[in-house]
Amino acid sequence: MNQKKRYTHLFFDLDNTLWDFNTNSLHAMHKAFAFYKVQFEKTNFQLFYNAFVKNNSFLWEEYRKKKVVKKELIRLRFQYTFNHLNITGINPEEMNEVYLNEMPKQTQLVKGAKQVLDYLKKKGYALSIITNGFACVQNEKLDTAGINHYFKKIIISEEIKSPKPARIIFDYALKSTNAPKKSSLMIGDDVESDIRGALNAGIDAVLFDPLNKYQNIQLSENQQVKNFLYLINTLDDLSLIV
């Protein structure tokens, strides 16, 4: 990280990069679980939430691969969870609606998010978001968390009809913000969606790795030659790069 390039346009992932998805999802699910307290009175919340997280992660991966569509994802992530725990009598689409209504009400940000955004805005960087997700939810998250004003452009996969890591969404981001590729930088926590997606589109990338899971990450020689990959453990570490 001791070699700096001159960047002008920074693209952030949202969930678990700036907005604390893990914490906020847990709180939102607590609300949804409590709403159905009679039906769930014999079910342990943590078991339910753990099963949901596993099913949700699997279905989002399928969604990114275009093997399931939005309507299937929002139904199946709860239906699979109900099936796993032998829960009956609850409409999976209705519980999904309760959960999604609660999600954007949660406001926990990743540690240091506002401070780094203030720092980057003050330095004059053009900041944008590239996020996978549903437009109504992602936009409301930014509003309620009080960080939407930092961003020049909010690029959401549902609106572009192409989720990360597909090159289409990164190309769209560059074009719609008039960002030179060589002066652009993607910051995200997901190795495949954010990092490999950006690198494959010819954009330098920063892997945000707060749990030190990827210290030995390897890229192909071709990618190492063409683009920079930086690794940070805190958002404060961005000041070492930009």
The tokens describing 83, both together, are 């099936």
Amino acid identity at 24? N
Span 94-115, pLDDT tens digits = 999 999 999 999 999 999 999 9
User: Within a 10 A sphere around the Cβ of 175, how many other Cβ atoms?
Assistant: 9
Phi, psi of 57 (to 5 degrees): -65, -45
Q: What is the pTM of this model?
A: 0.91
DSSP assigned state of 5: -
Coil, strand or helix at 127: strand
Reported as a single tens digit per residue, the pLDDT across 149-177 is: 999 999 999 999 999 999 999 999 999 99
* Residues acting as catalytic residues: 13
Instruction: Show the tokens assigned to 89.
Output: 């009598």
Q: How many CB atoms lie within 10 A of CB 22?
A: 11
pLDDT tens column, 27-69: 999 999 999 987 888 889 999 999 999 999 999 999 988 899 9
For residue 179, give the DSSP letter: -
List the 184-188 sheet strands across, edge first: 153-156, 126-131, 9-12, 184-188, 204-208, 229-232
pLDDT in tens, 8-28: 999 999 999 999 999 999 999
If you average pLDDT over residues 180-199, what whole number do you get?
Answer: 96
